[in-house]
Amino acid sequence: MKTWKLVSGILSIVLCLFVLLQSCAAGASNALAETGEVSGSAGLIVSIMMLSGGIVSIVTRNGSKGGNIALIVLYGIAALCGFTLAGSFGDLYIWSTWCLICVILAVVSLVKMKK
């Protein structure tokens, strides 16, 4: 699981930049079209949570119960916000799926952890 945490942490940090740029564009288009959607703000929240989760994942890759719980919370918030507030920002479903995969693997890591 150490390898997964390192790889997912690096990928989350890199993907965070894409999500941030896309959410800024989605927020601008929502504001210009006056649709009342909050998908740009949701993308910003997902981006921040992905960055935080990536950093925590890299730092706690050697294994700690608290680190796995923090990953579950951070990626869980990102997935929840992404799936519920995506609106017209369709790519947010993809990034939320990535966060959901990270949540599932963090739960597996927590369960398989040596006692």
Note the residue count of the chain: 115
Give 8-65 pLDDT, tens digit per residue.
Answer: 999 999 999 999 998 888 888 888 888 888 888 888 999 999 999 999 999 998 878 8
Nearest to 75 by CA among 25, 23, 8, 27: 8
Please tell me the predicted confidence (pLDDT) of residue 104.
95
Please tell me the predicted confidence (pLDDT) of residue 73.
95
Are 10 and 55 in contact by the 8 Å Cβ rule? The answer is no
Buried b (16+ CB within 10 A) or exposed e, 50-62: bbbbbebbbebbe
Give 62-102 pLDDT, tens digit per residue.
Answer: 878 888 999 999 999 999 999 998 878 788 899 999 999 99
What pTM was estimated for this model as a whole? Answer: 0.89
Please tell me the predicted confidence (pLDDT) of residue 115.
62
In the chain the first and final C-alpha atoms are separated, in Å, by 15
